[in-house]
Structure 1
């Protein structure tokens, strides 16, 4: 049964069910909303495939920095624009596909809106249908931009209805200071530890600081029993 244990911390079965229902509602309502937009017509899809991946992030890991509104909207739109530009500049589709995804990651990183489905959005702009290619840069806004905004809006409403925080607000310096005990973990300690590892972690450094501090607190309480 170890194969079926949750990969995410603090993600029990109940929360997974809530995420599944939310993602289903989010995608369905996004399609309903976008179907009313008159300029999404012809060969253009009502909803683009990368939105499925965006829904996983928004509803299953709403605290992730990659799932916040700006990464979802900005990441998808900017990546699509990159994909369109690369497709028009590079005639070889194989090379264009690789360049588009690589440049999309770079641009999202520079604009602080890294969003994994953005890579799929850039790729879609390169290998998509003739209708997508004919739409050009407009494809980044309709349907991609409208899809993204609709999904984020639904996500905000749904998470409030289910008592979850979205957009996620990382722990504030005041909250960290209040939780830190004398000699406890501080934000500068987290920065020093992160500087020693080549890996990137899908959690805000402020949240990581607060989490480790509380873990240290409970460890101290346990040792005193």
Structure 2
């Protein structure tokens, strides 16, 4: 059901496929179980419910949104670490536990913003440091190392291992393979389209917005949306003439350009100028070539041979 901006059910886009959701399921189970085993080793009485909430929320980010800015290693380690330190200090300095808990969470959010390690589950970690009970208080400053960073570190290792076999969701995001095609980086392509990095930053400041996307991802999102909006008219068979160049209009590693070498009834010979395996020649049916071609390139715009 499509909902409006003020809908009771909210409004967001989830374009992940069933395979991604299955990977998130398996990863969350494995990552959370192992990290909870580490956290539970702190006391003989098991673990407080607040650390369960903190680690559970981190598992959602790491395995459901591994490329999100809030999910990256510095956000995870820095967010939990800052929250733990602030929680310990607030507990020791403020006699009223509820006030100490509120101050700890507020200061943790404030510091995470300035240290560029915003991680929502850190709020539960700050609470845990204040109201976790005698077992947490007995740990003193060692609480930061174990169970906080030790259990979170285990989950980060699982996130790297679980996501690595799938190039499109490798964690951290810096491990994602770069585009193999000669297509320009997203920000460079955006500048050619008349916008640039400064424009993106200005728009975000105008909205006073924290966007959980990298600038490259935001630029790529804009370019893909514009390409879809300005989809050209279908290419006709008459346009397939020797010397003309066409692109499949895709992005990153799937981008390709072909130059028509010969076109006769029902058959097209072409030279693949850019894209996987380029340069190489091939032949296909006219119907298949028309299905592949997204738009015709102006004369001289094709890559040099």
Distance 2:171 2:104 in 1: 30
Which has a greater percent of strand?
2
Equivalent residue number for residue 124 of structure 1: 128
CA change 1:180–1:108 in 2 (3 A) is closer
The number of residues matched between the two structures is 220
1:106-138: CA deviation from partner (whole Å, max 9, x where unpaired) = 121222111101011000111112101111111
Which has more radius of gyration? 2
Equivalent residue number for residue 164 of structure 2: 160
The one of 191, 200, 207 equivalent to 1:190 is 200
How much does 1:5 deviate?
10
- Scaled by the length of structure 1, what TM-score is found? 0.85
Distance 1:20 1:44 in 2: 25
Q: Structure 1 unaligned runs (5+)?
A: none
CA change 1:148–1:5 in 2 (3 A) is same
CA change 1:110–1:177 in 2 (3 A) is closer
The one of 40, 44, 47 equivalent to 1:45 is 47
- Scaled by the length of structure 2, what TM-score is found? 0.64
Which has a greater percent of helix?
1
Task: Please give the residue correspondences for 1:35-184 in structure 2 after superposition, counting only pairs within 5 Å.
Answer: 40-43=42-45, 45=47, 48-49=51-52, 50-163=54-167, 164-169=169-174, 175-177=185-187, 179-180=189-190, 182-184=192-194
CA change 1:102–1:158 in 2 (3 A) is same
Alignment RMSD: 2.8
Distance 1:208 1:224 in 2: 27
The one of 221, 224, 236 equivalent to 1:211 is 221
